Chains A and B, each alone.
Chain A
Amino acid sequence: MRWGALLRLLDGRWLWGSPLLLATLCSFGFGLAAILDVAGALRRAEGVRAEVATELARLATEAAAIQCFATHESQVHLAVGEFDVHGVPDGELLLLSTRSTAGESWRFTCRRLSGAAPACFAERLVTTDPEIAARVGEGVVVAPDALPQLDRAALAAAPRAEGASGFRLDPALALLHWQGGTEAPDFVFDRFGTEGWTPPKGGLVVVPGHLWFAPSVSAYEWHLEQDLVVVVEGNLYVGASARISGPGRLVLVTTVPTGAQPFVDRDGNGRWSAGEPSFGRDFAGVIEGGGNVYLGLPSQHRALEVGASIVVGGELHLTADAAVDGALVLSRGLTELVAGARLRLRGEALFNVQRERVPGFCTTGAPRPGLLALVGGGLREPQQPLYETSPAR
């Protein structure tokens, strides 16, 4: 008897036999779907509301931070719209806590900057020669005195490549690629040493010689947590692509050291030859010159991707198609050693020069706050009780 009842329950005829029960079950399902729909919509709307509130708080804090620098006071308390912002300096940082009239609070922090970074780091191409801008099809033409200036004091205090992790001397590398090699010391980015690389704290390294990206099929790949400026007192030879990930950006700068001179390497042999124009009265110093940049090498004509900004103190030589992610600043000229070599400027790693620092470069303008970083936000403060609670007697 009991087995018979169970079988009748399982065959489902009772369900179809009673439409009211079936309709009730369907309604229950509809109700559940409605609750889920409404909950989802509420969650999405709350997400947008929180984002809007945070953005408004950021704008108010931004205004307060800028005002704070203008007043030159150590602690500030400002009311901006519906927000109350309280700023306290902490070493190189400014800590800002923002509270809305609705009781939400956010905490921001920003770096204290001595001024604006050189404007060229916000441009894809900056050159002193209008003919180059016309040839590349874009670019800002500036006077030579508008080019970015290195901060000599910062350079003097910066670590040198001999002692910094990620670089090593390689006396043989130049001989492999240039007949006769080079006279100045050759440093190479240590591909293996730079995996998990922690660049120097100040974000500035000086290379007292030439710097090489050793020619390779595979690219250099680094994760940078902070911006890094590498100042090369010599030539820069890029024989492999470099890809940078993380919030940090790489800036490569070539300068003309004492006892070297940049020149236009028309024959592409890596050394000055009679008749090649040098940027001086007569060519003197080391035979390979200084301040020049080679994108691609005679033995390497693969297309290159350089995930960095490049400030060229001498002549830029293009031996292969090259894509530059950051700013390209040309103090002199651009020479294509291979006909048809193309330069692509992606502009993906530019700087917000008004609010970001480029280590090692002189700044202009008044001190200012850097970009705000949200360190904690959207916290609703607990309701204050009307009466203090007291233990029961």
Chain B
Amino acid sequence: MKCSVAVRIERVGALLLLLCSGGGLWWLQQKVGAVDASASARREQLEHLRVLADRGQQQTVRESRSLAAVAGILDGRSFEWQSRDGMSFLVPVGPEVQR
């Protein structure tokens, strides 16, 4: 059973369309997966930061282990420990705390 040229072109076009759209969706899903992985890593960093901040609040004296852990913890951002009247607290690094 022979097909006409037009039918063959239509079938090849349909196949190409399917391949392109399917491939595009697959590529996009890879990108979305990468974005999700980065967001989930960021959330983990955030949780770590929260734990450190809570622990710091409950300490009267800063711990050197905690001090080491807060450099570049969130998006490469650094924090520093400050303490006053027995309370420790984390400060996002930037200009010195000033009045």
Contact = CB atoms under 8 A, between A and B. Distances in A.
Interface of A: 18-20, 22-24, 26-27, 30-31, 33-34, 37-38, 40-41, 44-45, 48, 51-52, 55-56, 59-60, 62-64, 66-67, 69-71, 76-83, 116, 122, 352-355, 365-366, 368
Contacts of B46: 48, 51-52, 55
A393 to B, nearest CB: 48
B84 to A, nearest CB: 5
Contacts of B20: 27
Nearest to B79: A59
Contacts of B68: none
B35 interface: yes
B2 interface: no
21 contacts: A19-B15, A20-B17, A27-B20, A27-B21, A30-B24, A30-B25, A37-B32, A44-B39, A48-B46, A59-B90, A59-B91, A60-B92, A62-B89, A66-B87, A66-B89, A77-B99, A78-B98, A79-B98, A82-B94, A116-B86, A354-B58
Contact of A38 (B11, B32, B49, B85): B32
A71 B85 CA distance: 13
A59 B57 CA distance: 11
A59 B85 contact: no
Given A23-B18, A41-B36, A76 B10 contact: no
**Most chain B CB atoms below 10 A, which of A18, A77, A81:** A81
Contacts of A33: 25
Contacts of B39: 41, 44-45, 48
B22 interface: yes
A64 B99 CA distance: 9
A41 B39 CA distance: 9
Nearest to B33: A41
Interface size of B as a range: 35 or more
Contacts of B89: 59, 62-63, 66
A278 B45 CA distance: 55
Contacts of B82: 63, 66
Interface in B23-37: 24-25, 28-29, 32, 35-36
Nearest to A354: B87
Contacts of B58: 122, 352-354
A70 B43 CA distance: 33
A352 to B, nearest CB: 6
B99 to A, nearest CB: 6
B87 A51 contact: no
B57 A354 contact: yes
Contact of B14 (A22, A69, A352): A22
B21 A79 contact: no
Contacts of A37: 28-29, 32
Contacts of B22: 26, 30
Contacts of A69: 85
A19 B92 CA distance: 59
A22 B60 CA distance: 69
A70 B42 contact: no
A37 B49 CA distance: 29
Contacts of A20: 10-11, 13-14, 17
Nearest to A65: B89
A282 to B, nearest CB: 42
B12 to A, nearest CB: 9
A172 to B, nearest CB: 45
Contacts of A78: 97-99
A37 B17 CA distance: 20
B36 A63 contact: no
Contacts of B18: 23, 26-27
